[in-house]
Amino acid sequence: MAIRPSPSRLEGGSTVAPRRISARTRNEWFTAYGFLLPNIIGLFVFVFLPILYAFYASLHDWNALSPKVFAGLDNYRKLLHDDEWWSSLKITLLFSVVYVPLLYFLSLLSALLMNALRGWTTGLTRTLFLLPFAITSVISAIIGMFMLDPRNGIINSLLGLAGIGPQQFLGSTSQAMYSVIGVILWINVGYNMIIFLSAIKEIPRDYYEAASMDGATGWKSFRYLTLPLLSETSTFILIVTTIGSFQALDQILVMTQGGPANSTEVSVLYIYKQGFQFLNMGYASSLAIALFVIIFCLSLFQLKLFSRKQG
């Protein structure tokens, strides 16, 4: 005998038939998952599988040329006592603490200025902002190196007009990190500016008209209207930018290779050297897993913090 699902019973004694999913809804689900399937497969193949393989490799002594030898947690014990690893983490933290707030405020300021522009200059200015990001980061980093050249760079030429002597920039242990940050800011400001600008354009003009009738203009309008309505965009940019700051590699590798005197050797660059210069693939994998855990925990903390503020 077939068993049919019993209808739900309400407090008043009436019953409600179980809700059935329509064929149209099922078709929409299949269509949506069909479009998502290539991305899901790509995420599994190019993200999750490499993470699992990196963890597997981290449990072995492996130089990429000979067979893997199981080492258990030896690589993780080694990193706990690796002074150069901890030094690279401190440099990464310095990079992130300086870079992330500057990128956020410069991107937001650029978006506000761009939103105020009118006429043909708008498209030209957007192009100039986006150009460093549109070309490959390596080419942008090379252009940054030429701009910071101690003898022929445009930055030193401008400083000379102001009566300031030539600076070493990338060749100075005290200036190299901040010079790298300046170049990477120049590259990435345009992209985040476009994200902020899109969010600002979505704010209805009626809100500003109502605020102006209540006397809120200028700074007050920005403080109590624009900034709160950009909270979700700000959360996204801050989290993504923080993750990116812990993964910075290509520009630093091109401009300084971690020098001078390891003053710009961030964590990812140290992992790169361990893996591809010294062929310590097992140890490099353990360092990568450790950095992944740090970034994951930091991202969760940021999500909790921002969700609590928004709540």
Question: Which of 65-69, 196-200, 222-226, 230-234 bottoms out in mean pLDDT, i.e. has the lowest?
Answer: 222-226
What is the DSSP-derived secondary structure letter of residue 276?
Answer: I
Q: Round to whole Å and give the CA distance between 89 and 92.
A: 5
Position 1 scores a pLDDT of 45
253: pLDDT confidence band, cut at 50, 70 and 90? very high
pLDDT at 282 over 50: yes
Q: Which domains does the chain have, with CATH numbers?
A: 83-255 (1.10.3720.10)
pLDDT at 6 over 60: no
Residue range 234-244, pLDDT digits in tens: 999 999 999 99
Q: Which residue would you say has higher pLDDT here, 121 or 55?
A: 55
At residue 9, the 3 state secondary structure works out as strand
What is the DSSP-derived secondary structure letter of residue 17?
Answer: P
Q: Round to whole Å and give the CA distance between 238 and 303.
A: 10
Position 4 scores a pLDDT of 52
pLDDT at 85 over 50: yes
Position 89 scores a pLDDT of 96
What is the DSSP-derived secondary structure letter of residue 169?
Answer: G
